Structure 1
Amino acid sequence: MKKILWLCLTLIVTFVLSFCLPDEKPEAYSIAFYNVENLFDYHDDPDVNDDDFLPGGKCHWTQNRYEKKLNQIATVASKLGDSDGPELLGMAEIENSHVLKDLINISAFAAPYGFIHQESCDNRGIDVALLYKKKIFKPLYHKLYSPKSMEGIKSGLRELLLVKGILNKDTTFILVNHWTSRRTGVEKSERKRIIMGMLVRELCDSLFRINKESEIIVMGDFNDTPHDPSVTEVIMAKGNAEKMGGEDLFNGFGNIDASKIGSTKYGKNWLTFDQIMMSKAFYKKHYKKGSSEIYHPEWMHYKSKLMNGPYRTFSGSKYQENGFSDHFPVYINFK
């Protein structure tokens, strides 16, 4: 009789606790991108144009300034999405593998990271790279892809880094971009960004021909907004997931109000140049809806005044010791 009573009591307690205890939420992971504004070391590399970033150069780039920059970038990167940093972090304006090795050894990175980097032909000596958590991502293959030259286009085109790997258990392709700036004017430089968009689209199409359900992430500093033709028409990235065709990409940053915030600022205008896009298969299977974010806490704004714009390392030629970058990082969460 006592055994029956104890059994009944156990069943009742288990039943009550099942309603009282909070549901366990599925863990969310993050993918981020950050243009870190000229992350150079202070050593002379005869193969790149790094003269400004030497102790005797225009920027008076010393070991102390370099180490300060590393710590500033690591502090930001470690806070993107997860409590211990993003699973994948695309980066732009990296000088070489040496600075990446120094960066991932900063104590702000709690989890073990690896990185993928390949020297590009950029005339400023800056490259793109991908950092990844070793426990989450297993790289299988990577390659730099150059855009096809077109009549009248002689320089200013950067290579794109494509990385294939296993993200958790799924084969995933990541395309890391840093497109031509608008320094020479929007219209004059637009053609170069269109060419880069064509390269992205060509690579996506080749992946879709192999597998229509390819899981693709396209990230970078595009120097164009989510509403410019290079993104909407050439890459075919939609801000509305319901309007996506089978081979379109989804761009959650198209829904961010650029009058209120962007990833960088020119004069008084916010611009969302930094974006993360994804294929329909990745969106449907992994994307946490509404999670596309620009990371811009008050302490990352110039003089800690919200909406002043990114607190950069250099304002013109003036060094700002507590600056981070002229861009805010962006991230998405995935399941």
Structure 2
Amino acid sequence: MKLFNALVGAFSLSFTVTAAIAEPIVWDMPNEYPATSIQGETDAFFSARLEELSGGEMSIVHHYGGAIGFRSRDQLDAVGDGAVPLANTFIAPLGGIDPLFLLMSLPFLTSDSAEARALFEIAEPHFNTLLESHNQRLLYSSPWAPSGLWSRKEITGLEALKLLKMRSYDANSTKVFRAAGAAPVQLSWADIVPQLSAGGIDGVLTSIEAGLSASFNEYTPVFAALNYDSTINIATINLDVWNGLSEEQKAILEQAANETEDHAWANVDVAVSLAYEEARAAGMTVIAEPDPAYRAALVDRAAPVIAEWLEKSGETGQSILSSFSTAMGREISN
């Protein structure tokens, strides 16, 4: 699809570069999430390192909170078509394009950030191939804290979850919570607060950190940690833009991206701890450890989702989960 070609002239994008760094390069970078989120902080770290490493000759103008009209589901095409040179994109909403984008949101597959990073590193070559087919290149991955459930009242079991109108963020989470008796609806980040304020939903599946960054506690003062998944954003760059860079520019960009990825993965656990402290200080109810029977019931309802994903992803998915199972020394239920 070439839906975004007409938008290229709408932004002041510096796509033309010289053989060496001579004239400043300024790139626009959209991110559906706010500057205060862990993804916003990661992008800020990236741009600061890029500007420092390039001596101010390469810089980024950030567009947080979907400010230029692109949501995560739009950004794969936006970068591939050249409407923007790069973007930081939540990958779960892209699952309809390719099942690989749903890998990191497979329910209860990883138990902590170390396992999540190991899973992504196993899958990274497949992501690189997929992204190249969409005319872009991976710069860095950036994790979210594990997802839990924000709600207006405490939910500690399936009975309380029954018919809960809640936000899900991809096909995986929609299926799992529907099977558990809830009434999930898949919403983009920008649609959550309007739905909460209007009473359209009473719960949100997301991390403690992400919800605080958008003040969900004003509507849903209870957070239950489920360690549902450890999904990610990916920052990508248009392949034509990349190919137009000098070798020096590419090296600088890669160094800034690699440092950003290490920073993001090292920072996620710290962000969770700080978010718990902030939530409790704000008077929220935080259920840090869900009832084992409740979580086991959710895990049971998640197994068919993993099996379905394996069927859709074929040999690629089987290879990834087999390698991950070996690396973790445990069986992956499906």
What TM-score comes out, normalization by structure 2 length?
0.27
Q: Which has the larger radius of gyration?
A: 1
**Greater helix proportion:** 2
Q: Greater strand percent: which structure?
A: 1
Structure-1-length-normalised TM-score: 0.27
